[in-house]
């Protein structure tokens, strides 16, 4: 199960939003897969950076780039 | 010199402490930035505002989630945004259940090098860590009248 979550249309996200994505990441990895995020807005990048969650949810500039790495 | 001690811009909003009303906090902040742009000679840039807005929203969401849990009486929260010459402050007041002291922010997640590492990551508790990184000061007080007061301060 390899997932890419496209955040391009998410205008605002808080830490609990990324907490939910961490839940998705864990579920995907338990199933032998992975979860990646693509196209985060500047606001989403602020949350990722300040929570240090960018260490585990590395943002990709496009869905295509995220998929290509799989 | 009371005028120089007071806020240069002030915007207040009172909303139901519900997740579907958090949007009203952003609307109030937009009104506040418009007034700040008209009033302050050197208003903060977009990146600065993004950090402040993100911290403000995090506290608003915490008040909904923790001070007004499901099953509790419906409540309201008041937000007061104020601009001073050297800083911006956001103060939240609500009558919900008290915050249980200032908990340690969740530590930074480890670098995930193997698939197993990710399995131990916390799915919550990052909010306070984010707020403390985004602003200069975060204060919480449970008042004698039984209200929660949160204050965020970010300096220019």
Please give, rounded to a whole number of angstroms, the shortest distance from the CA of B1 to a CA of chain A.
38
Confidence of residue B115 (pLDDT cuts 50, 70, 90): low
| Cβ-defined contact of B130 to A42 (cutoff 8 Å) | no
Which percentage of chain B shows pLDDT scores above 70? 84
What residues 50-69 of chain B have any CB closer than 8 A to a CB of chain A?
Answer: 50-51, 53-54, 57-58, 61, 65
Strand residues in B17-147 grouped as ranges (E):
76-83, 87-94, 137-142
Q: What is the mean pLDDT of residues B47-54?
A: 97
More confident residue, A53 or B82: B82
Please give, rounded to a whole number of angstroms, the shortest distance from the CA of A64 to a CA of chain B.
22
Q: Is A29 on the interface with B (CB under 8 A)?
A: yes
- The mean of the pLDDT values for chain B is 87
What is the C-alpha separation between A32 and A50, in angstroms, rounded? 28
**Spatial CA neighbour of B8 closest among B77, B69, B83, B76:** B83
pLDDT in tens, B74-112: 899 999 999 999 999 999 999 998 987 555 555 566 555
pLDDT in tens, A15-40: 999 999 999 999 999 899 999 999 99
Q: Enter the ipTM.
A: 0.88
Q: Is B121 on the interface with A (CB under 8 A)?
A: yes
**Residue B142: left (phi > 0), alpha (psi -120 to 50), or beta?**
beta
Q: In this structure, are residues A21 and B109 in contact, taking their beta carbons and an 8 Å threshold?
A: no
More confident residue, B77 or B122: B77
Question: How high is the pLDDT of residue B3?
Answer: 46
Question: How high is the pLDDT of residue B4?
Answer: 45
Asked whether the predicted pLDDT for residue B120 surpasses 50, the reply is: yes
Asked whether the predicted pLDDT for residue B29 surpasses 50, the reply is: yes
Interface residue of B20, B54, B119, B134 to substitute, partner A, most A CBs within 10 Å:
B54
Asked whether the predicted pLDDT for residue B5 surpasses 70, the reply is: no
**Which residues in chain B touch residue A14, judged by CB atoms under 8 angstroms apart?**
54, 57-58, 61, 127, 130
Nearest neighbour of A14 by CB, restricted to B61, B110, B116: B61
Whole-structure pTM value: 0.88
């Amino acid at each position: 199960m390899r997932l890419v979550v496209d955040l391009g249309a998410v205008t605002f996200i808080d830490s609990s939003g990324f907490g939910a994505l961490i839940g998705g990441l864990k579920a995907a990895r338990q199933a032998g897969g992975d979860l990646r995020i693509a196209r985060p807005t500047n606001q989403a990048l602020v949350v990722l950076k300040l929570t240090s969650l960018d260490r585990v949810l590395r943002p990709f500039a496009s869905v295509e780039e995220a998929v290509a790495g799989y | 010199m009371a005028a120089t001690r007071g806020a240069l811009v002030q915007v207040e909003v009172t909303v139901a402490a519900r997740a579907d009303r958090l949007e009203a906090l952003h609307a109030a902040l937009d009104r506040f930035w418009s007034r700040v742009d008209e009033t302050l000679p050197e208003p903060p840039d977009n990146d600065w505002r993004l950090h402040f807005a993100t911290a403000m929203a995090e506290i608003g969401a915490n008040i909904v989630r923790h001070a007004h849990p499901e099953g509790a009486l419906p409540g309201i929260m008041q937000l007061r945004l104020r601009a001073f010459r050297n800083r911006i402050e956001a103060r939240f007041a609500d009558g919900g259940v008290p915050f249980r002291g200032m908990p340690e922010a969740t530590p930074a997640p480890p670098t995930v090098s193997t698939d197993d590492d990710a399995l131990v990551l916390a799915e919550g508790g990052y909010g306070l860590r984010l707020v403390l990184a985004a602003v200069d000061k975060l204060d919480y007080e449970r008042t004698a009248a039984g209200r929660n007061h949160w204050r965020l301060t970010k300096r220019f």
